[in-house]
Structure 1
Amino acid sequence: MTWLRAILAAGLSVIMPGAGHVLSRDWLRAAVFAGLFLAASAFLLPIEQLAAAEPTSYDEAITQATAMAENIDPMAQFFLSFIALFATIDAAFRALGYSSGSTADEATCPECGKDVDEDLAFCHWCTTRLESDTLDPEKDS
């Protein structure tokens, strides 16, 4: 289930950077990646060409979109692709449970990898039932 979640998070981030983080309920990273991608798109893409042309048919719209894609600077394509790739990799790792801020002393959920309250019998992030021996980090030593 964790691998399926990671693949789904990565796929969503390919479509729109930040969407995979929404799946993992990582709201701040979702907002940062989506905002960064949209700001870079607004700054780097020739949107004024698209706004000036009003297509009247489907074929005309495809022709204009193709012309706009051909006029994009290769450096702009690189930056947008880099943001999308980084968001995809980050969303996949976060969905697998690799978090950058947890320490070894804190109790974590064995299913989602997020910090849990030791007084609860379940993970409040993914609702996985927790056994008392899985929460004690000193018993593994």
Structure 2
Amino acid sequence: MTWLRAIFAAGLSVIMPGAGHALVRDWLRAAVFAGLFLAASAFFLPLDQLTAAGPITSVDQALEQATVVAENTDPMAQFLLSFLSLFAAIDATFRALSYSSGEGTDAAEPTCPECGKEIDADLEFCHWCTTRLEPVEPEAETNDV
């Protein structure tokens, strides 16, 4: 199930950077990637020509606007937008697979065995992935004298 979630997060991030991060509930990264992509799109794409063409009401108009974008966008801008999408997809995949990006985690905090995120010790399930958790029994203390 984790691989399916990672593939789905990557696919969403290719379509719209930040959407894959929203799927894995990484809200800050979702906002950053979506904001970067929308800002780069507004800066590099020929929006004046697209808005002059009017709203898309048919498949032919959508193909016509896609042709306008492809012809009037320089290769460097296309590379930058593609790079942002690819980087967001790779990052969302690693986040969905619960690989850490080097953040320091406190060993005293309990983590979910399934998704690896911090959990509340009072709950019987992970509030991130809903995995049922076994109750933790306190260890018997031994007094070594």
* TM class by smaller structure: 0.7 to 0.9
Cα deviation, 1:25-84, whole Å, max 9, x if unaligned, reads 111111111111000000011111112234897545533431331221111011111110
1:126 is paired with a residue whose SS is coil
Is 2:114 the counterpart of 1:111? yes
| Count of residues in correspondence between the two structures | 134
**Matches of 1:110 and 1:42, distance apart in 2:** 42
Query: How much identity, in percent, do the aligned residues show?
Result: 75
Quickly say closer, same or farther: Cα 1:131–1:33, change in 2 above 3 A: same
Quickly say closer, same or farther: Cα 1:116–1:58, change in 2 above 3 A: closer
Higher-Rg structure is 2
* TM superposition score normalised by structure 1: 0.83
Given that 1:99 and 1:113 are in contact with CA atoms closer than 8 Å, whether structure 2 keeps it comes out as: no
Runs of 4+ more than 4 Å apart: 55-58
Is 2:137 the counterpart of 1:129? no
What residue number does 1:139 align with? Answer: none
Consecutive unaligned residues in structure 2, runs of 5 or more: 140-145
What residue number does 1:72 align with? Answer: 73
Consecutive unaligned residues in structure 1, runs of 5 or more: 137-141
What residue number does 1:85 align with? Answer: 86
2:80 is paired with a residue whose SS is helix
> Displacement of 1:124 after TM fit?
1.3
Cα root mean square deviation, aligned: 2.3
